[in-house]
C-alpha cells in the first residue's frame, strides 16, 4: 500500500515568536512535529526536507535536523538576522517537502522594542453627549503594541468599573452600556517588552438621541427620484414630504471612497438644489464640519442627475463605527425670491427629504475574505519601501492601490496573477505618516495600514 502524504503540526508559545530589541537570534521559536502517515509503503520511509519561505531578506532560518523520516520527529527552527530588521510583524511560511508531497503553514514573527507610547483615545470624543447605545470605542493603533487593556467605569476614579478587558484590536463594542448614563474610559498598551500607563480618560454620555425632523411639502412634485450610494440604489416617486428609507442601508469603510449620485424631479422648467448630510460622529446633528455635501443644482428634468453627481465621498478617518443617518434634501432653488439651498432641519419647503442608514466599519479589523489571512506587509513601519505578499486561488489580476490619510490615491498598479504573490513597492515621494494599502483580486479586497517613518 503506497501512501505519499504527510502533515506538519506547529507548536509554540505565543511569546516565543515575539522578540524585543536589541534583537538576538531567535532560537527554539517553535517545534515542528511530523504526523503519520509518513511512509510510501509499510517498509520504506519518506524523507521530508524543511524550508522557510517568504522571509524578509535579512532573516535566515535553519532547521535542526534539516530533514526527517520518522513520525513525531521534533525539529527546531532558529531564526537569525533579527538585528537587521525594524520593529514590526513579519509573515512567513514553513514547508515540509518529500519530493512527491509538500505541506506549508504560516507563521508570524513580531519584533518589538520598549519605547511604547500611550495610545490616543479617538471615539467617542471627550465630553460627547447624545452617544447612541452600544457604541464602538476606538483608540490609536500602535505598531509597537500587540495588546491593549481597556477600562470603562461609571466614575472618573475608576472604582465602579463596568468593563476591564484585554484585546488585540483597537476597537471595542460597548454592549454593556445603559441609557442616560455617563461613562469614563481609558486604555493602556502592552508588548512583550513593555507596557504604558493608562491614557488620560475620556468621558461620554449615552442617551437616546434622534436627528431633527425635516420635510418638504406636497404642493408640487419637486423631489428626489434616485439615490445611489455604494449598495444603496433607490428609485422613488414623491408620495410624502418626508420619506423614511432607514430600512435601506449600506456598509462603508473608514478612509475608503464612494460615489454618490442623486437624481431629481424639478417639476418643470425650474431649478432645484440638493444637499446630503451624513452624521459621521453619530451625535444626531448634521451641523458638524465635514458632514455636509453639496450635490448642486438641476434644471428642467423629471429624473435627471444633480450638477455634482457623481460626488466622490471619503469616509473620514475619525468617523464613529456603527450605524448612522444619511439625509438627502432636494428643494426649489430661486434665490431672487428667497428660495435658497436646503437646510438639514428645514420644514414646509417646496421639495422632499429622505433618510437612509449608513454603517461605518473598519475593514482593517473586520475583513474576512480569503485574501485577509495571507495578506502581509513587511517591514512595517518602513522608510517608504516595503513588500506586499499574499496567496490567492483566484486567477484574476492583482490590483494594488495606496492611499494617504485623506483618501488621496498616491499609487496604483495592476499585476498578473501569481498564486504566491510578492511585490516590492517603493513610495519615493511619500512623507512620514500613515497610509493604506488596498489589494483587490477578483471580488475580494483587503486593506491594511502601513506606516512610513
The pLDDT tens digits of the residues spanning 181-207 come to 899 999 999 888 788 999 889 999 887
Predicted confidence (pLDDT) per residue in 217-266, tens digit = 999 999 999 999 999 999 999 999 999 998 898 889 888 889 999 999 99
User: Which of the four CATH numbers 3.10.180.10, 2.60.40.10, 3.30.750.24, 3.40.50.300 does domain 121-206 have?
Assistant: 2.60.40.10
* Whether the predicted pLDDT of 304 surpasses 60: yes
User: Positive or negative CA dihedral for 399, 411, 363, 325?
Assistant: negative
* Whether the predicted pLDDT of 46 surpasses 70: no
Own/partner contacts of 337-343, CB < 8 Å, gap of 24 or more, are 340/273, 341/273, 341/275, 341/294, 342/273, 342/274, 342/275, 343/214
* Whether the predicted pLDDT of 23 surpasses 50: no
Q: Select from 210, 200, 204 the least CA-distant residue to 184.
A: 204
More confident residue, 443 or 289: 289
Q: What is the pLDDT of residue 369?
A: 53
Which residues of the chain form CATH 2.60.40.10? 121-206, 215-363
Q: Select from 355, 111, 119 the least CA-distant residue to 245.
A: 355
Residue 233: φ, ψ to 5°: -145, 85
Contact indicator for 336, 314 with CB cutoff of 8 Å = no
- Mean pLDDT over residues 340-368, rounded? 82
Q: CA angle, 119 as apex, 446 and 121 as ends, to 5°?
A: 85
Q: For residue 89, list its beta bridge partners.
A: 110
| ω into 379 cis (within 30 of 0) | yes
Q: What is the pTM of this model?
A: 0.49
Per-residue pLDDT band for 370 (boundaries 50, 70, 90) equals low
- Mean pLDDT over residues 435-442, rounded? 82
* Whether the predicted pLDDT of 312 surpasses 50: yes
HSE toward the beta carbon, residue 2, CA cutoff 13 A: 3
Query: Which is it for strands 347-349 and 215-216: parallel, antiparallel or unpaired?
Result: parallel
Q: How far is CA 165 from the centre of its chain?
A: 22
Q: What is the pLDDT of residue 299?
A: 95
Query: Which is it for strands 121-123 and 128-131: parallel, antiparallel or unpaired?
Result: unpaired
Which residues of the chain form CATH 2.60.40.2310? 7-112
User: Which of the four CATH numbers 2.40.128.50, 2.60.40.2310, 3.30.360.10, 1.10.10.10 does domain 7-112 have?
Assistant: 2.60.40.2310
The winner for highest mean pLDDT among 106-115, 148-157, 161-170, 394-403 is 148-157
Task: Please report the DSSP string for 134-195 in residue order.
Answer: SPEEEEPPPTT-SEEEEEEESSTTS-SEEEEEEESSSEEE-TT--TTEEEEEEEEEEETTEE
CATH architecture assignment, domain 367-452? Sandwich (2.60)
Is the domain defined by 215-363 classed in CATH 3.30.1050.10? no
Q: What is the mean pLDDT of the chain?
A: 81
C-alpha cell at 325: 443617518
Q: What is the pLDDT of residue 264?
A: 97
Amino acid at each position: 500500500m503506497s501512501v505519499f502524504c504527510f502533515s506538519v503540526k506547529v507548536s509554540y508559545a505565543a511569546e516565543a515568536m515575539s522578540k524585543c530589541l536589541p534583537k538576538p537570534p531567535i532560537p527554539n521559536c517553535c517545534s515542528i512535529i511530523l504526523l503519520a502517515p509518513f511512509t510510501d509503503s509499510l517498509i520504506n520511509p519518506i524523507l521530508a526536507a524543511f524550508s522557510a519561505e517568504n522571509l524578509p531578506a535579512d532573516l535566515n532560518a535553519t532547521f535542526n535536523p534539516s530533514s526527517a523520516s520518522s513520525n513525531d520527529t521534533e525539529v527546531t527552527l532558529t531564526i537569525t538576522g533579527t538585528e537587521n530588521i525594524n520593529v514590526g510583524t513579519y509573515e512567513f511560511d514553513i514547508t515540509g517537502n518529500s519530493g512527491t508531497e509538500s505541506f506549508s503553514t504560516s507563521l508570524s514573527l513580531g519584533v518589538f522594542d520598549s519605547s511604547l507610547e500611550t495610545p490616543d483615545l479617538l471615539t467617542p470624543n471627550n465630553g460627547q453627549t447624545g452617544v447612541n447605545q452600544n457604541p464602538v470605542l476606538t483608540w490609536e493603533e500602535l505598531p509597537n503594541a500587540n495588546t491593549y487593556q481597556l477600562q470603562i467605569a461609571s466614575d472618573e476614579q475608576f472604582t465602579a468599573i463596568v468593563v476591564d478587558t484585554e484585546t488585540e484590536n483597537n476597537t471595542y463594542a460597548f454592549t454593556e452600556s445603559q441609557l442616560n448614563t455617563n461613562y469614563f474610559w481609558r486604555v493602556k498598551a502592552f508588548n512583550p517588552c513593555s507596557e504604558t500607563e493608562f491614557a488620560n480618560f475620556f468621558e461620554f454620555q449615552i442617551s437616546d438621541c434622534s436627528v431633527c425632523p425635516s420635510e418638504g411639502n406636497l404642493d408640487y412634485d419637486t423631489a428626489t427620484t434616485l439615490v445611489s450610494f455604494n449598495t444603496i440604489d433607490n428609485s422613488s416617486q414623491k408620495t410624502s414630504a418626508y420619506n423614511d428609507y432607514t430600512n435601506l442601508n449600506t456598509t462603508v469603510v473608514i478612509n475608503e471612497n464612494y460615489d454618490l449620485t442623486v437624481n431629481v424631479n424639478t417639476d418643470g422648467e425650474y431649478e432645484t438644489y440638493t444637499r446630503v448630510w451624513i452624521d459621521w460622529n453619530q451625535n444626531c446633528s448634521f451641523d458638524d464640519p465635514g458632514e455636509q455635501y453639496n450635490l448642486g443644482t438641476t434644471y428642467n428634468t423629471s429624473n435627471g442627475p444633480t450638477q455634482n453627481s457623481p460626488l466622490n465621498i471619503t469616509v473620514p478617518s475619525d468617523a464613529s463605527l456603527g450605524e448612522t443617518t444619511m439625509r438627502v434634501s432636494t428643494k426649489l432653488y430661486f434665490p431672487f425670491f428667497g428660495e435658497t439651498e436646503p437646510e438639514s432641519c428645514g420644514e414646509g419647503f417646496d421639495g422632499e427629504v429622505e433618510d437612509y442608514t449608513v454603517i461605518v466599519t473598519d475593514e482593517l479589523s473586520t475583513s474576512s475574505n480569503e485574501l485577509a489571512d495571507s495578506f502581509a506587509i513587511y517591514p512595517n513601519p518602513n522608510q517608504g519601501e516595503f513588500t506586499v505578499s499574499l496567496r490567492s486561488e483566484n486567477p484574476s489580476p492583482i490590483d494594488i492601490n495606496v492611499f494617504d490619510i485623506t483618501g488621496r490615491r498616491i499609487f496604483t498598479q495592476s499585476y498578473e496573477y501569481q498564486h504566491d504573490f510578492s511585490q516590492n513597492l517603493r513610495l519615493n515621494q511619500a512623507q512620514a505618516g500613515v497610509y493604506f494599502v488596498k489589494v483587490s483580486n477578483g471580488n475580494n479586497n483587503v486593506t491594511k495600514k502601513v506606516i512610513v517613518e
